[in-house]
Amino acid sequence: MTVAATFEIEYLQYLGPDGKLAAELPHAFRDAQVLLPLFKQMLYVRTFDTKAIALQRTGKLGTYASSLGHEATHVGIGASMRPEDVFAPSYREYGAQIVRGVKPREILLYWGGDERGNDFSGPKHDYSWCVPIATQCLHAAGAALAFKLRKEPRVAVTCCGDGGSSKTDTYAAINSAGAYKLPFVQCIINNGWAISVPRSAQTGAKTLAQKGIAGGLHCLQVDGNDLVAVMEGMRRAMEHARKGEGGSVIEFMTYRLHDHTTADDARRYRGEQEVKDAWARDPIPRLRTWLTSHKLWSEKQEAAWVEECGKQVDVEINAYLETPVQPVEAMFDYLYADPPPDLLEQRAAAIALEKRA
């Protein structure tokens, strides 16, 4: 038999769920001290996420997509990028965005229905939140093409979920990145569910990482709950791209510990034992255990830091709540330089209804 091609998908894991070494650490992370600020960032993101859910439950925020359980993946992605790189997120990667300078108050503004939240702090060249599934992957591929044409040493990074990896947008982005050898990193965040559709029902592929093989990209699967694995996987991909060696697809194995959004009830479609097992792989306890074993962290330090996180997040929440609401006509005023007559009629009607109260 003649074989046309073969491939393998490497899997990275350095810290197991018990917080102990599963493999020899990459050189950059042999000093546990370098992980401490990232761990603190993960705790900050979880504190923010908890308070955001509480805001939604009390009617002070619209539908919100929780990032619970994704902290290592998101923070690791953001921390692996340079300011000049471009990030094209979906709608859940707050950890990556906060690391890149986005303010929590801006995240809340967006989910509160105010598009001014999309004019966020941090790199102005980063893309806004993208709710349509996987369209952001094409945006990132386009940015990567621009970087190559301009000979700029920049990388475009995008994220989609396991469900999003089945969209034609993702495949087109991967194909373009391979065909043009672009500085592009496709992060597939496999959290087990595409809303209520399990990973097992979404594709026959053994891994989601291998979806990049057909496009000619370098592919890797990592334990997305292991911050070290996330950082090392991203380091390889970013270095590969900067050297002009093309794009990568990284599948981050994690789990959605909360509902898909606050409009969802995951108890309708997944069992209690599955979720219980997933909590045993929570990214925060494993890194806490590792840092504690190196005498870099303690319960007392964590209690103090979480309290400080709460205070900082409360400042952001208050800033969000105190932001003056835009007048109703704002939804019409930034669509056209010369609005058509029917839109002007709708604008007038909306203003009239607003004044009725």
Per-residue pLDDT tens digits for 151-210: 999 999 999 999 999 999 999 999 999 999 999 999 999 999 999 999 999 999 999 999
Is 2 a domain residue?
no
Is 5 a domain residue?
no
Low-confidence stretches of the chain (pLDDT < 70) are: 356-357
Determine the 3-state secondary structure of 302 from DSSP: helix
pLDDT value at residue 355: 77
Percent helix, strand, coil in the chain, to 5, is 50, 10, 40
Residues taking part in catalysis? 256, 260, 269
Residues 321 and 332 in one domain: no
Global pTM reads 0.95
Residues 83 and 110 in one domain: yes
Is 207 a domain residue?
yes
Domains: count for the chain: 2
Residues 55 and 197 in one domain: yes
Number of H helices, E strands in the chain: 12, 8
pLDDT value at residue 71: 98
pLDDT value at residue 354: 84
pLDDT value at residue 356: 65
For the purposes of burial, counting CB atoms within 10 Å of the CB of 152, is it exposed (0-12), middle (13-18) or buried (19 or more)?
A: exposed
Is 104 a domain residue?
yes
**Full domain range(s) for residue 352:** 328-357
Residues 336 and 214 in one domain: no
Residues 54 and 179 in one domain: yes
pLDDT value at residue 280: 98
Residues 86 and 151 in one domain: yes
Q: Are 207 and 165 in contact (CB under 8 A)?
A: no
Residues 276 and 340 in one domain: no
Among 118, 132, 250, 123, smallest CA distance to 190 is for 250
pLDDT value at residue 357: 52
Indicate the average pLDDT of the chain: 96
Residues 293 and 349 in one domain: no
Residues 97 and 243 in one domain: yes
Is 4 a domain residue?
no
Residues 343 and 277 in one domain: no
Is 244 a domain residue?
yes
We report the CATH number of the domain holding residue 286 as 3.40.50.970
Is 38 a domain residue?
yes
CA neighbours within 13 Å on the CB side: how many for 294?
17
Q: How far apart are CA 74 and CA 100, in angstroms?
A: 11
Residues 249 and 350 in one domain: no
Is 1 a domain residue?
no
Give the ranges where 24-167 is alpha helix by DSSP (H): 36-57, 71-79, 94-99, 104-111, 135-150
Residues 308 and 208 in one domain: yes
